[in-house]
């Protein structure tokens, strides 16, 4: 996924810091879809995601005067989002209900979707919706930190370096978390492949 242009963000941030609330609105509009994907794939619940997103932007607006531009706005807002979501997940614990069965209908015509379903033997064998459900379940079995890394890397398409900046950990830590999470997901999905009916 393409990273937004930072110079444009810097201008909007500067205008917001000068008291132009409309500039912050532009940042909200720009980053909402992206942050929605991040938070939603970490929480697996639309209502929680909506509340969290509102809180994230509210916090960002309150603290934007303190933003000195040491990192890009992109990294800064993602750090706020990930930290707030991780805190929320810690408070929520394990009580959650999946609402991930609302895969958009447009996926059926997507090129990548067709490619996956037609070429990959395990996927072809399995019912796709069931596989998606299993995948979501497997994601939710990961720890919050591992799920955050998987979401940012696989779903959001961020590079390791960017993830390490957002999480404030080393790239090595990102890689090891990703490796462990991938192995966990493989185990869950292989189990499903062997016993597809269960």
Partner 1 sequence: MDEFDNNEIGRLLRLKRYEQPPPGYFENFLHEFHRRQRDELLRQPLWKIALGRAHDFMMSLNVARIASYPVAVTAVLLCAAVISLKVYQTTPAPNVARLSPAVPVQQAATEGGWSLAAPVSTRITVSQPRTHLSTHRAATPPRYVLDSMPVSYESSLRF
> Which residues in this chain contact partner 1 in the complex, by CB under 8 A?
1, 19, 25, 28-29, 32-33, 36-37, 40-41, 46, 49-50, 53-54, 57-58, 61, 65, 100, 102-104, 106-107, 110, 112-113, 116, 120-123, 131-132, 135-136, 139, 150, 154-155, 157, 182, 185-186, 189-190, 193
First CA to last CA distance, the chain: 35
Nearer to partner 1, 7 or 112 (CB): 112
**Between 6 and 50, whose beta carbon lies closer to partner 1?**
50
In the complex, least distance from residue 77 CB atom to partner 1, rounded to whole angstroms: 14
Q: Which residue has the tokens 């393409």?
A: 2
103 contacts 52 by C-beta, under 8 angstroms: no
Rounded to a whole number of angstroms, the minimum distance from the CB of residue 118 to partner 1 is 12
Picking from 174, 74, 186, the residue whose alpha carbon sits closest to that of residue 141 is 186
Q: Cβ of residue 185: shortest distance to partner 1, in angstroms?
A: 5
CA distances for 38 relative to 41, 45, 52, 118, 125, angstroms: 6, 12, 11, 28, 29
């Amino acid at each position: 996924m393409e990273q937004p242009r930072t110079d444009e963000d810097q201008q909007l941030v500067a205008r917001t810091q000068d008291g132009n609330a409309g500039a912050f609105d532009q940042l909200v509009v720009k980053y909402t879809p992206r942050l929605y994907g991040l938070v939603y794939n970490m929480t697996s619940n639309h209502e929680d995601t909506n509340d969290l997103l509102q809180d994230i932007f509210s916090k960002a607006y309150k603290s934007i005067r303190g933003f000195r531009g040491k990192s890009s706005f992109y990294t800064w807002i993602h750090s706020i989002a990930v930290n707030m979501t991780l805190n929320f997940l810690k408070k929520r614990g394990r009580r959650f209900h999946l609402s991930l069965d609302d895969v958009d209908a447009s996926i059926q015509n997507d090129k990548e979707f067709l490619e996956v379903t037609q070429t990959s033997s395990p996927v072809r064998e399995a019912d796709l919706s069931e596989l998606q459900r299993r995948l979501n379940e497997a994601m939710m079995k990961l720890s919050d930190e591992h799920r955050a890394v998987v979401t940012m890397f696989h779903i959001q398409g961020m590079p390791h370096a960017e993830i390490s900046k957002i999480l404030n950990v080393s790239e090595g830590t990102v890689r090891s978390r990703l490796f462990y999470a991938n192995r966990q997901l493989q185990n869950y999905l292989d189990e499903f492949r062997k016993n597809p009916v269960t």
